[in-house]
Amino acid sequence: MRRLFLFGALWAVVVTVEGLTINSCAYNEPQSPVVELKTNLTVFCILNQTCLQELRYAITSRELFWKVGNTVIPESQYRLVNDSVSSVTFQPTLDMHNSLTCSFKAYGQTDVTLHGIYFTLGYPPEKPENLSCVCYNGRTLTCSWEPGRPTIIPSTYTLKQYWVGPELLNNTEIVQNLTSDPPKIQRPSVFRSSGERKDCVAAAEKHSCTLDHPDFVMNINTAFLVEAVNPLGQVTSEPVQFDIIEIVKPDPPDIASVSAVLERVLRIEWKNPMVLVDLKYNIRYRPRGDGAWNEVPPDDLARTRDSFSLQELQPYTTYAISIRCRLTRATYWSDWSKEYMATTSESAPSEGPEFWRKISSGESGDGERVVQLMWKNLQSRANGLILGYNVTVRRGAEVLTSLHVQETACKITVPKDSYEVVLTAYNSKGPSPPSTLIIPPITDKVVQLPDMNLKAYPKAGRLYVEWRPVRGALGYVMEWCSNSLTMDCDAEWQRDPGDSTGTYLRGDIEPFVYYLIRLNVLLGDGQERSSSVAAYLQQRAPTIGPAVETKSTGKTWVILTWKPVPVSKQNGFITGYTINYGDNSGVPKVITVNSTVTECTLKSLSAKTAYSVFVTANTEEGGKAGLQLSFTTLPFDTGEVEAIVVSACLGFLVLILFLCFLFCNKRELIKKHIWPNVPDPSKSNIAQWSPQTPSRHGSKPHPFQEGPFTDVSVVKITADEKSYSDQDLKCVDQMKTATSEGLSSGIGGSSCLSSPQLSGSESDGISCTQSTSSTVQYSTVIMGGYQGQTPMFSRSESTQPLLVAEERPDEQPPASVEEAETPSQYFKQNFSQEDGGRIPEPPPPPAHTQEPAAQILELAGFSDGHNPNPDDQSQGDVLDDKQKTYLPQSARQGGYLPQ
């Protein structure tokens, strides 16, 4: 811990508290200290009691407290020296405020600052390391060093230089005295500059310093050191000693000229940067555009010179040349000189052009072929400016065609035989070696080659192709197309020797581009055999994704189809497709298919539901999704509606057939419930007994003759039971008596006479008896005549049982016939217009037909004019009470009378 004590008064701090001004009542010691980080700081606060008493403040050191910025230091770090002196000890950090104050509380409430200081934190300098110096071309000297850790506070670095004699270099004691001020060195008489010190102060934030010596003297030993100073300390580096000539770095030589003096030779001339000293050189050169430099062997440049000749260079090639130098005893080379460009002279081409052809059928159809010949520029192997090409077509020793061509391609037409084409390039110095190509004959011979195991892959940033060699191959021609799935393009090509097993594609190969590569094997007969492979120099995700479409949509399925990504947008080999689909409410589903699939069926979908789908094309380096497609499934599948309609129609047809079948088999039962048998009043004998019914033919037919009636009988009841007078009843009795003698039903042993008209005298003696036989005879008295007819008595010899109303005498009939639901009764019989409107006479009824008169009356009550079936002879049905129109069998009501 560093303790600092009070030695004197400090500046006054003026503070106003409640109108009072405190002047120089306390001060701190030390003032503005510089503190090393991670060490303790102790500061004292001394009270001026005289000043405080004048201000009527009676305080002691016990009432003082310390603050760093606005933070109060704990009392545990205070120390009371006496009643007027208080100290605080703490360890400041960089995150603290750099102000420290001594205060007290006036009247127990207000903080009053008596005095304060500012402190600075930092580190003392470390010993500089790795001191090195360079003398640039003998004019200036620059030394640099490593200062160590940052000091945070400003530090000063001074470079000190001492010139000493060589006899002092091995004297450690004298060398150490170089650091003393002034140096404790005896000045030797033999050295003019011995003992002189040259100092240099480094600029802020820089750790180097430069000394300028226009009359710098070589071959004199010199010592250098660096001294670092800041408020927290001082330190000196280890001294270094050397002769100035050993640290000289000369300027680069200045190339004056480079000329082509002989074939493949360039002569270089330059100017030396320093004179009267021994220099060594380095010369480097390279063809223009080439990245690798070639250097002349150092032994060829061991002595001082100003020119040199470069030999065994490539003809007609531009070279870049650069030179550097250094002193023989020095350590540092000069910088390389500026590059100088020069071109060698021409020579004849060293190789023939790379040669290839494409053969196609001629238009004449007589076996001639069109051959397109192609070759490449010789470039560096041209050894000069190519002036043209000579093309010679030979068949054996015979020369068929000789051409002079300026371009790198031409076409020739040859027959179906085998030919040899020779190509040479020439410049001002002569022709190149010949390149030969064989055009094979048209033949059915096919040479079977083994599997070449052709591969293509990136290697060292280039596209490398390798294959298994073919025995007897004269050479290999590599062709390739970019972003094309076929070789129908302007393909690039290159030719390699027959002993090759692999090669780099020498064209401009770009990343993310699809290359289709074909390797052609050239055999002795000139036949061409090939094998293909595809490759990428570098892959990435596709540029665009597939565009998906719906091919067909159903109720629970959909067929999706998409077009493959164009090969120019794939950027790599497509490894597969990912199909993402789902509706708005569910979790999307994913399906993966391989790269050859462009159609997919999604199943188990919901009917009449909207879905969204997109397809992602994937490569080894990532995927790209296409545009999203929305579709809606159908409510019914194809044919489902037709099946429902057909099924419904078939079901309805079956139902109709079943009902028809049921109607045919249950006709009687259905007829009984729907159309009950009702007797036909037209066949009743009452129509035959009516005295007012005229005969159409003058003779009365049999009353029971079958067939429809042609006359009309009307039964009309105009009065109820109470309206019958005694005279009417008496008339009825007389009619029964009068007719009982002449007519007999012959049924059941009983008889009843009937007459159409009875006189008043005769009616008095008429009587009627009733038989106890099982048969019942029905008769009806018609009280009211129709169209002036007199009452009539009708008889029916029917054996039919009594109707319901007759069997239930306790059921009271309606008060009158008019109150019942039976309207006026009409019996209508049809007649044709051919009879002149006359009422035909009814045919005689058959012997077995006997209709009850009561049922005739019942049928006469149909108000809607219904005509029952005349063929229906069933008489066993009982009608509802509301449909019973016959009158109760009572003499008062016109019913049958007991006999």
Q: Tens of pLDDT along 452-481?
A: 899 999 999 999 999 998 888 888 999 999
Q: How far apart are CA 235 and CA 666, in angstroms?
A: 137
Rg of the chain taking only CA atoms, in angstroms: 72
* pLDDT on residue 591: 94
The CATH architecture to which 250-343 belongs is: Sandwich (2.60)
Interior CA angle at 676 toward 674 and 677, to 5°? 150
What CATH fold (topology level) applies to the domain 455-535? Immunoglobulin-like (2.60.40)
Question: Omega before 182 cis (within 30°)?
Answer: yes
Question: Which of the residues in the chain have pLDDT under 70?
Answer: 1-24, 108, 164-198, 213-216, 362-366, 444-448, 525-527, 686-899
Axis-axis angle for helices 667-674, 640-665 (nearest 10): 80
Please tell me the distance from the alpha carbon of residue 252 to that of residue 273, in angstroms, as a whole number. Answer: 7
Distance (Å, rounded) from C-alpha 205 to C-alpha 149?
Answer: 13
CA distance 467 to 332: 52
Q: Are 633 and 558 in contact (CB under 8 A)?
A: yes
DSSP letter at 30 equals: S
pTM of the predicted structure, to 2 decimals: 0.48
Pick the CATH number of 355-439 from 2.60.40.10, 3.40.50.150, 2.60.15.10, 3.90.580.10: 2.60.40.10
**Cross-strand partners of 612:** 582, 630
For residue 677, is it left (φ>0), alpha (ψ between -120 and 50) or beta? beta
Query: Rounded distance, CA 392 to CA 133, Å?
Result: 71
Angle of CA points 645, 650, 652, to nearest 5°: 95
- Look up the CATH number of domain 15-122: 2.60.40.10
Contact (Cβ atoms closer than 8 angstroms) between residue 236 and residue 226: yes
Token code pair at residue 599: 């159609």
Strand segments (E) across 73-155: 78-80, 85-90, 99-106, 110-118, 120-122, 129-136, 140-146
Alpha-carbon distance of 467 to 456, in angstroms, equals 9
Cα–Cα distance for residue pair 293/321, rounded to 1 Å: 9
Predicted local confidence at residue 338, as pLDDT: 94
**Residue 530 is which amino acid?**
S
Pick the CATH number of 129-247 from 1.10.3720.10, 3.60.150.10, 2.60.40.10, 1.25.40.10: 2.60.40.10
pLDDT at residue 187 in the model: 37
d(CA 797, CA 779): 8
Quickly list DSSP for 544-577.
Answer: S---EEEEEE-SS-EEEEEPPPPHHHH-S---EE
HSE-CB for 282 with a 13 A CA cutoff: 16
Beta-bridge partner residues of 271: 254
Which H or E run includes 286?
Answer: strand 279-287
CA distances from 195 to 170, 177, 215 (A): 16, 11, 16
Cis peptide before 30 (omega within 30 of 0): yes
Instruction: Output the pLDDT for position 196.
Output: 52
Is it true that domain 548-632 has CATH number 3.30.980.10? no
Alpha carbon separation from 568 to 42, 122, 508, 511, 617 (Å, rounded): 78, 64, 17, 12, 14
Specify the residue for token string 């007829």: 671
Longest distance between any two alpha carbons in the chain, whole Å:
214
| Alpha-carbon span 805 to 878, nearest angstrom | 10
Q: What are phi and psi of 853, to 5 degrees?
A: -65, -30
Q: How many CA atoms within 13 Å lie on the side-chain side of 276?
A: 4
Contact 518, 532 (CB under 8 A): yes
